[in-house]
Every structure is written in structure tokens, then in C-alpha cells.
Amino acid sequence: MKEKPERFQESINDLLNNNPAESFRRRRHLIETDLLTLEEIENIFSLAEKLKAQKEAGSFPLELLRKKHIALTFYENSTRTRSSFSIAAANLSANTVNLDISTSSVSKGESLEDTARTLIAMGVDAIVQRHSQNEAAESLANAIGDAVSIINAGSGKRSHPTQALLDCFTMLETVSSLKGKRIAIVGDTKYSRVARSNAKLLKRMGADIVISSPPELSASDLADLGISFESDLSKAVQNCDFVMALRIQEERLEKDLKIDKNSYIEKYQINHGILKEAGQNAKVLHPGPVNRDLELSSQVMDDSKYSLIEKQVANGIFIRMAILALLLNS
């Protein structure tokens, strides 16, 4: 039997006010998932699940963040993250201020901190920030203290917490637990914030992670996490429950590093051939944007038996709604 909308509202209120909600709210910011407890993370997932059900029951927008102002400050390009934060805010009745960096005073030399302080003086309640520097979100949060919430929408090659949360949430829609699940993260892991954030979060959720990358694109810094490395893709994907393909991060490669794309396709492309080695019910994820027929074949990308990519995008809205609602609901 379908739950009634008022029943959802009751559950949503509980999830916004329970102990993990309050401890997450006290942190004020979302910089990386390893700063959250597993209970706080489970609570984000439970709230996202309820919000998704409420959307299906047709009762959006919610009034939870009426009169709140959320600044979207993207110093690097984005389609998915920026749009989904914007839709998430609208679904909660919040207003968004979308800073166009190229026409803002950042182009006249205003610093990140001064830009943030200017937005804070105007009364914004949260700043969602993407930046090419690894420490950008953390440094801003340290500089402004508790004035407003800083939400990391991707910083350098280090962290992309909302992506890892939505990826994990999407996997948990197909399996009841990630404990003991084998997950291959494939491709350019060295320059990927998605690889780093996912490896850390999935490891905490109990998954067995294997990284399969060309040597020059391998995130060797993740070895300390106790994950395995297998450069032979057919071995890496054996018995996998999930295969996560990653884009070559051209914008972050060292200048003299040239990738032979034909060789990359031959050794690391996720396609139907390689998926024969994976588990029978293996699913494929990709954070996007996808370079079709490079790291992922078009046939697999569009094959609903395997691809969770559209589900990842759709779930991004509910995870980001949950985060905004938890941090800003007062």
C-alpha cells in the first residue's frame, strides 16, 4: 500500500530532527564524507529515500526552506551538480543565486573569501562551491567559520562528497547492503575526485574496492585505504557487483602526459565484452560527463540491463535536497 503524503511529511520531520540530523547540522558544512559518521550518512540516505517517495506522490515543492537563499558558486564547469543543486533548492522552496564566475567580480581579482563574505553580507544561508583547488571548500569553511554552510560541490582532484553519496545511494537501491560487495573503479583514478570520495565512502560501507587504471593514471595514494589494484581490467571486473567507469580528467593531467586513446580503449574501456567477466547482475555507474566510446561504450551506456547512469543523475536531486534540508532547516 502506498504511504499517504502526510505520513511522508511526518517521517521527513523525524529524519530532520533526530540525533544524526542534529549532529550533522552542528557540523555546519559538508566538506567530505569522512567527516560524517555512518549514522549521519544513513540518515541522509533515509531522508533522500523519503523525499524521492514524496516526489512520486506528487507533493513537490516542499516548504522546508522557504525564505532561504543558496549561492551556487561554480569556479569550474558543471552540468549535473550545478543543475541538481538548483532543482533541489527549488523543490524545497529556497531561492538560488547563481554566480556566473566569468561575469562576476572574481574576474576583477576578488578572492574566494571576499566573494563569499560579500554573499554572506547579502544574507545567503549557504554557499555551494566547486573549485579546481583541492583545499578550496575546506579553506573557505575555515575562513568563514559558522557564518553560513559551505557545501563542497567538487574540489580539485580530492573530493566530491555529494557525488559519492548519490553513487552509494544508487547502488543501495539495487542491493540491500554494500558489505562484501566487489566494486571496480576503472580509468583515470589519479586525477579523479570522484574516485577518491567514492573509494573512501564505499570502503566505510564495507565494500571490497579494486582500482583498475593505467599506471600513469592510477591513484596510488589510495593504497593506504586497504583497497586492491589490478591493472588487468578483465581480472579487476571478475565477480564484480558494480563497475564504476571514470572519465580521463584532461583538464587536470600534467602538461607532458599524453594518453594514447586507442590503447586506452583496448585495455580499459567498459563494454559488453569486458562485462562478460563481471558478476551476472553487475551494474555500471559513471559520474558523467561521459566521453562516449572512450571510457564507456555507447552500447553499455544506453543498456538499461547494466547502466545506472540516469538513476545516478535523478538521485542526485534527492541527495542534494536531503543535504540542504538537513543543514539549513531550523
Q: Is residue 23 a contact residue for ligand CP (CB under 6 A)?
A: no
Q: Is residue 73 a contact residue for ligand CP (CB under 6 A)?
A: no
Only segment of 6-14, 61-69, 74-82, 142-150 that touches ligand CP (CB under 6 A): 74-82
Residue choice 20, 154, 161, 214 for contact with ligand CP (CB under 6 A): 154
Q: Is 115 a known active-site residue?
A: no
Q: Is 286 a known active-site residue?
A: no
Beta partners for residue 184, in sequence order: 210, 243
In whole angstroms, the minimum distance from the beta carbon of 316 to ligand CP comes to: 8
Cell of 21: 540530523
CA end-to-end span of the chain, whole Å?
32
Residue choice 9, 11, 23, 78 for contact with ligand CP (CB under 6 A): 78
Only segment of 19-27, 72-80, 114-122, 322-330 that touches ligand CP (CB under 6 A): 72-80
Q: Where do the DSSP E strands lie in the chain?
A: 69-74, 95-99, 126-131, 149-155, 182-186, 208-212, 228-229, 242-245, 283-285
In whole angstroms, the minimum distance from the beta carbon of 163 to ligand CP comes to: 5
Q: Is 130 a known active-site residue?
A: yes
Under 8 Å between Cβ of 94 and 328: yes
Residue choice 7, 25, 28, 80 for contact with ligand CP (CB under 6 A): 80
Catalytic residue among 2, 108, 255, 258: 108
Q: Is residue 187 a contact residue for ligand CP (CB under 6 A)?
A: no
Calculate the CA dihedral of residues 59, 63, 68, 74 and round it to 10 degrees.
-10
In whole angstroms, the minimum distance from the beta carbon of 222 to ligand CP comes to: 19
- Compute the distance between CA of residue 216 and CA of residue 55 in angstroms, rounded to an integer: 44
Residue choice 163, 198, 213, 269 for contact with ligand CP (CB under 6 A): 163
Q: Is 170 a known active-site residue?
A: no
Task: Give the CB-side neighbour count of residue 222, counting CA atoms within 13 A.
Answer: 30
Q: Where are the alpha helices (DSSP H) in 98-227?
A: 112-121, 136-144, 161-171, 193-204
Q: Is 320 a known active-site residue?
A: no
Q: Which residues are tagged catalytic?
A: 80-81, 108, 130, 160
